[in-house]
Amino acid sequence: MNSSSGSISAQEVQASAIADLIAGARNVAVGMLSPVPGAGALLAAHLSGGRMRVTILGSREHNRFTNGGAELFDLAGRGGIDAFFLSGGQIDGQANINLVGTGDYPQTEVRWSGSFGSAYLYYLVPRVLLFRWEHSRRTLVPQVDFISAPGTSPPGVHRPGGPVALITNLCLFAFDRGRGRFSLRSVHPGHTLEEVRDQTGFDFDSPPEVPATPLPDGARLQALRGPVATQMAGIYPAFAEAVFGVRAA
């Protein structure tokens, strides 16, 4: 739904939830083709009053790197990235992600983009937020066909980073690294617990009463539809026009 009509869009709800998840971080990096995480990160930076720095790969204005991924990996290795976003063709209940393809490797029936640096960043960045905008049993599976990056590691493995949450088009899960398990934190407005359970391939915990994901308040909406939308138009013009009704200058 386009926010220019006055209604709060699903993307605005998701971006506001993401801003809460990364609140307090100093340096946040966003990969390419990640408009909703990008909007959430820019909103969080706005709310921080300048204390948060956001780097968006593929952006001219919001990209401090001149050599893309290599500099990102170096900074993460030195502890300079506090939060990052990862997705996958498949994500399972242990927060393993699959970016390679479906079927028995290497004869995968469907091939995706590949793992790239996902495992490296998953191990190093303290707050990794998983996201998937198709919440279905074919994407959120009991066990991924190929582990591009593991959600947890055995005892004794030095791993300062890992997943803290999974946000989808239906809900928000928190991840307990010690238990290696997701718990349902909230359901987005317009959706139900029954819908989430029906569309999720893995088991998860949930409280007796599941709250709705909070709607962004007036100040957040003003920021999203103002300075954040303007910045997004220069990075993701199609997204900015569709969601905020803002065109690139």
3-class DSSP string for 127-194: EEEEEECCCCCCCEECCCCCCCECCCCCCCCCCCCCEEEEEECCEEEEEECCCCEEEEEEECCCCCHH
Q: Give me the sign of the Cα torsion angle 103, 195, 32, 25.
A: negative
Residue 222 domain flag: yes
Measured CA to CA, the distance from residue 61 to residue 17 in angstroms comes to 24
Question: pLDDT tens digits for 20-42?
Answer: 999 999 999 999 889 999 999 99
Closest by CA position to 185, among listed 158, 161, 204: 204
pTM of the model: 0.94
Is there a domain that residue 221 lies in? yes
Per the domain annotation, does 249 fall within a domain?
no
Find the domain containing 34 and state its range. Answer: 3-244
CA nearest neighbour of 150 among 195, 192, 203, 91? 91
Q: What is the pLDDT of residues 61-96, one digit of tens each?
A: 888 888 778 899 999 999 999 999 999 999 999 999
pLDDT at residue 5 greater than cutoff 70 = no
CATH code where residue 193 lies: 3.40.1080.10
Classify residue 184: in a domain, yes or no.
Answer: yes
Residue 194 lies in a domain: yes
* Residue 219 covered by a domain: yes
Tally of domains in the chain: 1
* Residue 185 in domain: yes
Per residue in 118-173, pLDDT tens? 999 999 999 999 999 999 999 999 999 999 999 999 999 999 999 999 999 999 99
